[in-house]
Amino acid sequence: MKAAIFPGQGSQYVSMGSKLLENNPDNRKYMDIANAILGFDLADVMINGNVDDLKETKVTQPAVFLYSIIQYYNNSGSDDFGCYAGHSLGEITALVASDCLTLEDGLSLVSKRAGAMQLACEEQKSTMAAVLGLEDEQVERICNEIDDVVVAANYNCPGQVVISGSITGIEKAMEACKAAEARRVLPLLVGGAFHSPLMESAKESLSKAIAQLSFKVPRGPIFQNVDALATTDPELIKQKLIAQLTSPVRWTQTMINMHQYGVKHFTEFGAKVLSGFVKRYDRSLPTEQYK
Protein backbone atom coordinates (compact mmCIF):
# COMPACT_ATOMS: atom_id res chain seq x y z
CA MET A 1 0.00 0.00 0.00
CA LYS A 2 1.16 3.54 -0.84
CA ALA A 3 0.65 6.61 1.35
CA ALA A 4 0.66 10.22 0.16
CA ILE A 5 2.31 12.60 2.64
CA PHE A 6 2.59 16.39 2.66
CA PRO A 7 5.09 18.66 4.49
CA GLY A 8 4.26 21.77 6.49
CA GLN A 9 5.62 25.23 7.11
CA GLY A 10 9.38 25.47 6.82
CA SER A 11 9.65 23.54 3.55
CA GLN A 12 9.36 26.69 1.39
CA TYR A 13 12.24 27.91 -0.76
CA VAL A 14 12.99 30.89 -3.02
CA SER A 15 11.64 30.60 -6.61
CA MET A 16 9.50 27.57 -5.75
CA GLY A 17 6.81 28.93 -8.07
CA SER A 18 9.22 29.14 -10.99
CA LYS A 19 9.88 25.43 -10.80
CA LEU A 20 6.15 24.68 -10.93
CA LEU A 21 5.79 26.71 -14.13
CA GLU A 22 8.92 25.22 -15.67
CA ASN A 23 7.54 21.73 -15.03
CA ASN A 24 4.12 22.59 -16.45
CA PRO A 25 3.02 26.07 -17.65
CA ASP A 26 -0.60 25.00 -17.10
CA ASN A 27 0.07 25.23 -13.36
CA ARG A 28 -0.51 28.96 -13.74
CA LYS A 29 -4.27 28.23 -13.50
CA TYR A 30 -3.84 27.00 -9.91
CA MET A 31 -1.82 30.10 -9.05
CA ASP A 32 -4.56 32.31 -10.50
CA ILE A 33 -7.16 30.53 -8.35
CA ALA A 34 -4.98 31.10 -5.28
CA ASN A 35 -4.45 34.78 -6.07
CA ALA A 36 -8.19 35.34 -6.42
CA ILE A 37 -9.04 33.59 -3.12
CA LEU A 38 -6.18 35.06 -1.08
CA GLY A 39 -6.54 38.63 -2.29
CA PHE A 40 -2.83 39.11 -2.98
CA ASP A 41 -0.35 37.94 -5.61
CA LEU A 42 0.98 34.73 -4.04
CA ALA A 43 2.32 33.59 -7.40
CA ASP A 44 4.60 36.63 -7.60
CA VAL A 45 6.02 35.92 -4.14
CA MET A 46 6.55 32.25 -5.02
CA ILE A 47 8.34 33.25 -8.24
CA ASN A 48 10.16 36.49 -7.36
CA GLY A 49 10.06 36.76 -3.56
CA ASN A 50 13.15 36.59 -1.36
CA VAL A 51 13.70 34.58 1.83
CA ASP A 52 12.13 37.25 4.03
CA ASP A 53 9.07 37.53 1.79
CA LEU A 54 8.45 33.80 2.14
CA LYS A 55 8.98 33.71 5.91
CA GLU A 56 5.80 35.57 6.86
CA THR A 57 3.27 33.01 8.11
CA LYS A 58 0.36 34.40 6.08
CA VAL A 59 2.47 33.90 2.93
CA THR A 60 4.41 30.78 3.88
CA GLN A 61 1.44 28.55 4.60
CA PRO A 62 -0.48 29.22 1.35
CA ALA A 63 2.78 28.92 -0.61
CA VAL A 64 3.68 25.53 0.87
CA PHE A 65 0.10 24.28 0.50
CA LEU A 66 -0.16 25.37 -3.14
CA TYR A 67 3.26 23.98 -4.04
CA SER A 68 2.47 20.57 -2.52
CA ILE A 69 -1.03 20.20 -3.93
CA ILE A 70 0.14 21.17 -7.44
CA GLN A 71 2.91 18.58 -7.19
CA TYR A 72 0.22 16.07 -6.22
CA TYR A 73 -2.01 17.03 -9.14
CA ASN A 74 0.94 16.83 -11.56
CA ASN A 75 2.49 13.59 -10.33
CA SER A 76 -0.06 11.38 -8.56
CA GLY A 77 -1.24 9.96 -11.90
CA SER A 78 -2.94 6.61 -11.56
CA ASP A 79 -1.35 5.86 -8.18
CA ASP A 80 -3.89 4.41 -5.80
CA PHE A 81 -3.00 5.81 -2.38
CA GLY A 82 -4.40 3.79 0.48
CA CYS A 83 -4.15 6.63 3.00
CA TYR A 84 -3.01 10.22 3.47
CA ALA A 85 -1.25 12.34 6.07
CA GLY A 86 0.38 15.74 6.40
CA HIS A 87 2.61 17.44 8.94
CA SER A 88 0.82 20.39 10.59
CA LEU A 89 -0.25 22.60 7.65
CA GLY A 90 0.26 19.54 5.43
CA GLU A 91 -2.79 17.93 7.00
CA ILE A 92 -5.00 20.38 5.09
CA THR A 93 -3.13 19.49 1.88
CA ALA A 94 -3.87 15.82 2.61
CA LEU A 95 -7.56 16.64 3.02
CA VAL A 96 -7.65 18.31 -0.40
CA ALA A 97 -5.65 15.51 -2.06
CA SER A 98 -8.10 12.94 -0.68
CA ASP A 99 -11.13 14.96 -1.89
CA CYS A 100 -12.30 15.65 1.66
CA LEU A 101 -12.05 19.37 0.83
CA THR A 102 -12.09 21.18 -2.51
CA LEU A 103 -9.02 23.09 -3.63
CA GLU A 104 -10.84 26.38 -3.17
CA ASP A 105 -12.00 25.53 0.35
CA GLY A 106 -8.52 24.28 1.21
CA LEU A 107 -6.96 27.54 0.08
CA SER A 108 -9.52 29.56 2.01
CA LEU A 109 -8.93 27.51 5.15
CA VAL A 110 -5.14 27.76 4.87
CA SER A 111 -5.42 31.52 4.47
CA LYS A 112 -7.62 31.92 7.53
CA ARG A 113 -5.45 29.52 9.54
CA ALA A 114 -2.30 31.44 8.63
CA GLY A 115 -3.88 34.78 9.45
CA ALA A 116 -5.13 33.56 12.81
CA MET A 117 -1.74 32.10 13.68
CA GLN A 118 -0.01 35.32 12.65
CA LEU A 119 -2.25 37.30 15.01
CA ALA A 120 -1.58 34.84 17.84
CA CYS A 121 2.16 35.25 17.25
CA GLU A 122 1.81 39.02 17.52
CA GLU A 123 -0.12 38.78 20.80
CA GLN A 124 2.87 37.28 22.62
CA LYS A 125 6.46 36.83 21.52
CA SER A 126 7.22 33.14 21.33
CA THR A 127 9.35 30.69 19.42
CA MET A 128 10.38 27.05 18.87
CA ALA A 129 13.55 24.93 19.02
CA ALA A 130 14.59 21.50 17.77
CA VAL A 131 16.05 18.99 20.20
CA LEU A 132 18.12 16.16 18.73
CA GLY A 133 19.39 13.06 20.48
CA LEU A 134 17.09 12.79 23.50
CA GLU A 135 14.24 10.38 24.13
CA ASP A 136 10.74 11.84 23.82
CA GLU A 137 10.12 11.23 27.52
CA GLN A 138 13.26 13.18 28.48
CA VAL A 139 12.14 16.20 26.48
CA GLU A 140 8.64 16.01 27.96
CA ARG A 141 10.03 15.82 31.48
CA ILE A 142 12.27 18.84 30.91
CA CYS A 143 9.34 20.88 29.54
CA ASN A 144 7.17 19.92 32.50
CA GLU A 145 9.83 21.13 34.93
CA ILE A 146 10.15 24.61 33.37
CA ASP A 147 8.20 27.33 35.19
CA ASP A 148 7.13 28.98 31.94
CA VAL A 149 5.13 28.03 28.83
CA VAL A 150 7.03 25.34 26.92
CA VAL A 151 5.77 22.04 25.48
CA ALA A 152 6.83 19.27 23.13
CA ALA A 153 5.19 20.38 19.87
CA ASN A 154 6.46 18.16 17.05
CA TYR A 155 7.46 14.51 17.47
CA ASN A 156 9.18 14.36 14.08
CA CYS A 157 11.05 11.07 14.23
CA PRO A 158 12.92 9.00 16.81
CA GLY A 159 15.45 11.31 18.44
CA GLN A 160 14.00 14.56 17.11
CA VAL A 161 11.45 16.64 19.02
CA VAL A 162 10.58 20.30 18.48
CA ILE A 163 9.64 22.32 21.55
CA SER A 164 7.39 25.37 21.50
CA GLY A 165 6.63 28.16 23.95
CA SER A 166 7.44 31.60 25.32
CA ILE A 167 10.87 33.10 24.65
CA THR A 168 11.89 32.59 28.28
CA GLY A 169 10.45 29.08 28.42
CA ILE A 170 12.33 28.00 25.29
CA GLU A 171 15.59 29.51 26.52
CA LYS A 172 15.33 27.62 29.82
CA ALA A 173 14.34 24.37 28.11
CA MET A 174 17.20 24.64 25.61
CA GLU A 175 19.73 24.97 28.43
CA ALA A 176 18.16 22.04 30.28
CA CYS A 177 18.27 19.87 27.14
CA LYS A 178 21.94 20.71 26.64
CA ALA A 179 22.61 19.79 30.25
CA ALA A 180 20.84 16.47 29.60
CA GLU A 181 23.42 15.88 26.82
CA ALA A 182 21.20 16.39 23.79
CA ARG A 183 23.25 15.92 20.63
CA ARG A 184 22.10 19.30 19.29
CA VAL A 185 19.64 21.99 20.36
CA LEU A 186 18.73 24.42 17.59
CA PRO A 187 16.56 27.56 17.80
CA LEU A 188 14.16 27.72 14.85
CA LEU A 189 13.56 30.83 12.76
CA VAL A 190 9.80 30.94 13.28
CA GLY A 191 7.50 33.73 14.34
CA GLY A 192 5.66 31.97 17.13
CA ALA A 193 4.95 28.98 19.34
CA PHE A 194 2.99 26.74 16.99
CA HIS A 195 1.20 23.71 18.47
CA SER A 196 1.31 25.13 21.98
CA PRO A 197 -1.23 26.71 24.36
CA LEU A 198 -0.15 30.10 22.98
CA MET A 199 -2.16 29.32 19.81
CA GLU A 200 -5.48 29.22 21.69
CA SER A 201 -6.83 32.39 20.06
CA ALA A 202 -5.97 31.02 16.62
CA LYS A 203 -7.85 27.82 17.40
CA GLU A 204 -10.99 29.80 18.12
CA SER A 205 -10.75 31.60 14.78
CA LEU A 206 -10.03 28.37 12.91
CA SER A 207 -13.06 26.71 14.48
CA LYS A 208 -15.32 29.39 13.01
CA ALA A 209 -13.73 29.04 9.57
CA ILE A 210 -14.07 25.25 9.57
CA ALA A 211 -17.74 25.47 10.54
CA GLN A 212 -18.43 27.29 7.28
CA LEU A 213 -16.92 24.61 5.02
CA SER A 214 -18.23 21.32 3.65
CA PHE A 215 -16.09 18.28 4.51
CA LYS A 216 -16.71 15.04 2.59
CA VAL A 217 -15.69 11.46 3.34
CA PRO A 218 -12.10 11.21 2.01
CA ARG A 219 -11.10 8.64 -0.62
CA GLY A 220 -8.84 7.02 1.96
CA PRO A 221 -8.20 7.32 5.69
CA ILE A 222 -6.47 10.47 6.96
CA PHE A 223 -3.93 9.88 9.73
CA GLN A 224 -4.28 13.08 11.73
CA ASN A 225 -1.63 14.83 13.81
CA VAL A 226 -3.51 15.04 17.09
CA ASP A 227 -3.70 11.31 17.82
CA ALA A 228 -1.95 9.71 14.79
CA LEU A 229 -5.06 7.62 14.14
CA ALA A 230 -6.83 6.94 10.85
CA THR A 231 -10.04 8.91 10.35
CA THR A 232 -12.69 9.03 7.61
CA ASP A 233 -15.56 10.65 9.54
CA PRO A 234 -15.84 14.30 8.35
CA GLU A 235 -17.07 15.54 11.75
CA LEU A 236 -14.19 13.86 13.55
CA ILE A 237 -11.75 15.21 10.98
CA LYS A 238 -12.99 18.74 11.70
CA GLN A 239 -12.67 18.33 15.46
CA LYS A 240 -9.12 17.02 15.20
CA LEU A 241 -8.12 19.73 12.74
CA ILE A 242 -9.24 22.40 15.22
CA ALA A 243 -7.47 20.70 18.12
CA GLN A 244 -4.26 20.47 16.09
CA LEU A 245 -3.26 24.11 16.62
CA THR A 246 -2.69 23.71 20.37
CA SER A 247 -1.73 20.01 20.32
CA PRO A 248 1.53 18.33 19.34
CA VAL A 249 2.14 16.92 15.86
CA ARG A 250 2.60 13.21 16.54
CA TRP A 251 4.44 12.40 13.33
CA THR A 252 6.61 9.62 14.77
CA GLN A 253 3.49 7.77 15.93
CA THR A 254 1.80 8.53 12.60
CA MET A 255 4.59 6.78 10.69
CA ILE A 256 4.39 3.80 13.03
CA ASN A 257 0.61 3.55 12.71
CA MET A 258 0.64 3.93 8.93
CA HIS A 259 3.27 1.21 8.66
CA GLN A 260 1.20 -1.09 10.87
CA TYR A 261 -1.86 -0.24 8.76
CA GLY A 262 -0.06 -1.75 5.77
CA VAL A 263 1.82 1.14 4.18
CA LYS A 264 4.95 -0.11 2.44
CA HIS A 265 5.78 2.99 0.38
CA PHE A 266 5.64 6.72 1.26
CA THR A 267 5.31 9.35 -1.49
CA GLU A 268 6.00 12.94 -0.42
CA PHE A 269 4.64 15.85 -2.44
CA GLY A 270 6.75 18.87 -1.57
CA ALA A 271 10.23 19.43 -0.17
CA LYS A 272 12.17 16.39 1.02
CA VAL A 273 11.33 16.68 4.70
CA LEU A 274 8.98 13.89 5.74
CA SER A 275 10.80 11.32 3.61
CA GLY A 276 13.85 11.92 5.78
CA PHE A 277 11.78 11.32 8.90
CA VAL A 278 10.48 8.05 7.41
CA LYS A 279 14.05 6.89 6.79
CA ARG A 280 15.02 7.70 10.38
CA TYR A 281 12.09 5.62 11.55
CA ASP A 282 12.82 2.67 9.23
CA ARG A 283 15.55 2.94 6.60
CA SER A 284 14.19 -0.07 4.71
CA LEU A 285 10.89 1.65 3.82
CA PRO A 286 10.82 2.95 0.21
CA THR A 287 10.18 6.68 -0.19
CA GLU A 288 9.64 8.91 -3.20
CA GLN A 289 9.61 12.71 -3.48
CA TYR A 290 8.13 15.19 -5.92
CA LYS A 291 9.73 18.55 -5.18
How far is 83 from 273, CA to CA, in rounded Å?
Answer: 19
Mark whether 37 and 132 lie in a shared domain.
no
- What CATH number has the domain bearing residue 243? 3.40.366.10
Mark whether 11 and 57 lie in a shared domain.
yes
In a domain, 57, yes or no: yes
pLDDT at 10 over 90: no
Least confident of 88-102, 157-171, 269-283: 269-283
Which band of pLDDT confidence, cut at 50, 70 and 90, is reported for residue 191? confident
Active-site choice (88, 126, 166, 196)? 88
How far is 250 from 156, CA to CA, in rounded Å?
Answer: 7
Active-site choice (164, 195, 247, 275)? 195
Mark whether 275 and 183 lie in a shared domain.
no
Pair 42, 16: CB distance under 8 Å? no
pLDDT for 235: 97
Mark whether 163 and 223 lie in a shared domain.
no
Q: What's the sign of the alpha-carbon dihedral 155, 4, 245, 238?
A: negative
Distances (CA, A) of 33 to 40, 195, 280: 11, 29, 37
Above pLDDT 70, what percent of the chain? 100
Known catalytic membership, residue 284: no
Mark whether 145 and 8 lie in a shared domain.
no
Which band of pLDDT confidence, cut at 50, 70 and 90, is reported for residue 271? confident
In a domain, 72, yes or no: yes
Mark whether 59 and 147 lie in a shared domain.
no
Mark whether 155 and 286 lie in a shared domain.
no
Q: Pick from 187, 213, 228: which residue ends a domain?
A: 187
Write the CB contacts of 103 (distance below 8 Å, at least 6 apart in sequence).
Answer: 30, 33, 69, 96
pLDDT at 78 over 80: no
Mean pLDDT of 59-69: 95
Q: Pick from 161, 187, 213: which residue ends a domain?
A: 187
Mark whether 75 and 96 lie in a shared domain.
yes
Residue of higher predicted confidence among 123 and 10? 123
Known catalytic membership, residue 166: no
Three-state secondary structure string covering the chain: CEEEEECCCCCCCCCHHHHHHHHCHHHHHHHHHHHHHHCCCHHHHHHHCCHHHHHCHHHHHHHHHHHHHHHHHHHCCCCCEEEEEECCCHHHHHHHHCCCCCHHHHHHHHHHHHHHHHHHHHHCCEEEEEEECCCHHHHHHHHHHCCCCEEEEEEEECCEEEEEEEHHHHHHHHHHHHHCCCCEEEECCCCCCCCCHHHHHHHHHHHHHHHCCCCCCCCCCEECCCCCCEECCHHHHHHHHHHHHHCCECHHHHHHHHHHHCCCEEEEECCCCHHHHHHHHCCCCCEEEEC
How far is 87 from 77, CA to CA, in rounded Å?
Answer: 22
* Structural domain for 25, as ranges: 2-122+197-290
Mean pLDDT of 36-44: 94
End-to-end CA, the chain: 22
Which band of pLDDT confidence, cut at 50, 70 and 90, is reported for residue 98? very high
pLDDT for 58: 86
Mark whether 94 and 205 lie in a shared domain.
yes
Mean pLDDT of 74-93: 91
Mean pLDDT of 190-200: 92
In a domain, 96, yes or no: yes
- On average, the pLDDT of the chain sits at 94
pLDDT digits (tens, 9 = 90+) for 225-241: 999 999 999 999 999 99
pLDDT at 266 over 80: yes
pLDDT for 219: 95
Mean pLDDT of 257-279: 94
Mark whether 264 and 163 lie in a shared domain.
no
pLDDT digits (tens, 9 = 90+) for 106-145: 999 999 999 999 999 999 899 999 999 999 999 999 999 9
Distances (CA, A) of 145 to 86, 98, 138, 176, 245: 31, 41, 11, 10, 23
Mean pLDDT of 160-182: 97
In a domain, 10, yes or no: yes
Cβ atoms within 10 A of the Cβ of 201, count? 16
pLDDT at 164 over 70: yes
Mark whether 166 and 205 lie in a shared domain.
no
Mark whether 37 and 166 lie in a shared domain.
no
How far is 68 from 47, CA to CA, in rounded Å?
Answer: 15
Which band of pLDDT confidence, cut at 50, 70 and 90, is reported for residue 57? confident
**Residue closest to 90 by CA, chosen among 225, 282, 286:** 225
In a domain, 192, yes or no: no
